Amino acid sequence: MPKFTYTAMDAKGAEKKGALDADSQNGAITQLRELGLFPTNVVEVGGDKKQAKATKGEEKGSGKRSAAKSAGGKGLGTNINISALWGGSGVKAKVLTIFTRQLATLVDAGLPLLRGLSVLQRQERNPVLKNVIGDLATAVESGSTFSEALFQHPKIFSKLYINMVKAGEVGGVLEVVLNRLSQFMEKAEKIKGKIKAAMFYPMAVLIIAVGILSFLMIKIVPQFEAIFSEMLQGVPLPAFTVFVLGFSRRIKDNALLVVGLLIALIIAVKIIGKTTAGRIVIDRLKLHAPLFGDVIRKATIARFTRTLGTLVASGVPILQALLIVRETSGNRVIANAVSKIHDSVKEGESIVQPLDASGVFPPMVVSMIDVGETTGALPDMLMKIADNYEEEVDNAISAMVSLLEPIMIVFLALIVGSIVIALFLPLIKIITTLGQDASGGS
């Protein structure tokens, strides 16, 4: 019988390592679950090193559903956006949110889970999710728990999703957990949508400004330069006009070089972002960026508190919840802070000290979490913080959009206006010269 080495977490989130005999990799996973352990890595001794679940979310080898990356993302060294928490492999976050809400409604109404899955499979229009729901129903019908069935589809369902469902099953409150999960996903989608909407306007104006500037500099300005050269015949041009004409020549002569440099810059940022140090620098710049930094910081804090609060309220052990929050934080600076919090809690200390020492969380957040931890109402306090910061994100986005609209309009007007002025200064001189010639000729 094959032997497997494993790494797993117990109910308290502590890491356990060992070895066991099993018929297959799935059999080893089942044995670990029966022992109350959550496997993160299962490898056959002397085999081809197939992993049932890699620590950073990688899953290799064969099986009914094999995934290259789990929904937790690509590890802490990369940026995880909010859709990666549960959307992947052709299933958008919005579609999965609707599925979760509908399943919660059916289970809450007293419909058995298997029948609820069958009903949702028949009406689901997304082909990928339809097949996944069928797989879930088959697994549940064959005796697997719902969380075990979800575990077989890590690209669709994140660790957060699976662990909340598992906690709901253990506590006998699956319908409550599904409702919490659907509310969490809906709020996350709402914040993501608002941030995208806020980014759309300035990006659209910026693209238009670059397009207009490129057209004027490459097509229009050179024609005026030829006119000036022919009609002024060596008469010195205004300094501002000379600057604009020189800038136009550089852009026209080096257009491909400029585009190449921009592409190289984007690639360089992507490559740097793959490294741990580079990811930290980029994420730190995001948190301190002008205008957008405040919104990103508040949205990140809202996501952190709501995720942790939802997990703890659903019965997930605090250490395991912190590990999940770390992997789904979306920001390496926040992830490092959560790692320190996890280590502190693992040593039996409070979460407040490392939270305060990180310098990422405002004093009000630290104080509220301190009160929640002291009074035993940490999940409720985390939810209140999340509600408060989501409201602040709304206000910050509204204020930012109101501020950006006139700034971008003025910015575009200054660019176009400056070019027009630079071209009209010589025209005024030409008109004046022609007027003088006409007067002299008469």
DSSP symbols for 131-154: HHHHHHHHHHHTT--HHHHHHT-T
Read off φ and ψ for residue 3, nearest 5 degrees: -110, 140
| Torsional sign, CA 67, 73, 76, 79 | positive
Length of the chain: 442
Residue in 105, 80, 102, 106 with CA at minimum distance from that of residue 160: 80
pLDDT at 360: 78
3-state secondary structure of 90: coil
Q: How many CB atoms lie within 10 A of CB 414?
A: 11
pLDDT at 428: 78
Q: How far apart are CA 257 and CA 279, in angstroms?
A: 28
pLDDT at 59: 36
pLDDT at 438: 59
Q: How far apart are CA 322 and CA 9, in angstroms?
A: 13
| Contact between residue 22 and residue 2 where contact means Cβ atoms under 8 Å apart | yes
Instruction: Encode burial over 284-294: b for 16+ CB neighbours within 10 A, e otherwise.
Output: eebbeeeebeb
Residue in 316, 313, 318 with CA at minimum distance from that of residue 170: 316
Q: How far apart are CA 293 and CA 195, in angstroms?
A: 12
Q: How far apart are CA 304 and CA 61, in angstroms?
A: 33
Torsion region of 222: left, alpha or beta (phi above 0 gives left; psi -120 to 50 gives alpha): alpha
pTM, entire model: 0.60
Supply the DSSP symbol for 79: -
Q: How far apart are CA 124 and CA 140, in angstroms?
A: 18
- Measured CA distances, 195 to 88, 205, 292, 390 (Å): 20, 16, 9, 11
Residues 6+ apart with CB under 8 A from 276: 77, 332
Instruction: Encode burial over 140-166: b for 16+ CB neighbours within 10 A, e otherwise.
Output: beeebbbbbbbbbbbbbbbbbbbbbbb
Residues 6+ apart with CB under 8 A from 11: 36, 317
Write out the two tokens for 97: 């949110």
Supply the DSSP symbol for 236: P
Instruction: Rounding to the nearest 10 degrees, give the CA dihedral for residues 24, 29, 33, 35.
Output: 60
> pLDDT 10s digit of each residue in the chain, 442 long?
788 888 776 655 566 788 888 887 777 777 877 787 766 677 887 654 333 333 333 333 333 333 333 333 333 333 333 333 333 456 888 888 889 888 888 888 888 888 889 989 888 888 888 899 999 999 888 888 888 889 888 888 887 788 888 877 877 778 888 888 888 888 888 877 877 777 787 788 788 888 888 888 888 888 887 877 777 666 778 888 888 888 888 888 887 887 888 899 889 888 887 887 888 888 888 888 877 788 888 888 888 888 888 888 888 888 888 888 887 777 888 888 888 888 888 888 778 888 888 777 888 888 998 898 888 888 889 989 988 988 888 888 878 777 777 887 888 888 888 888 888 888 777 777 666 655 555 5
Q: How far apart are CA 310 and CA 321, in angstroms?
A: 9
pLDDT at 83: 37
Write out the two tokens for 146: 């719902």
Instruction: Encode burial over 25-37: b for 16+ CB neighbours within 10 A, e otherwise.
Output: bebbbbbbbeeeb
Write out the two tokens for 213: 């500037």
Residue in 392, 299, 304 with CA at minimum distance from that of residue 351: 304
CA angle 303, 327, 284 (to 5 degrees): 70
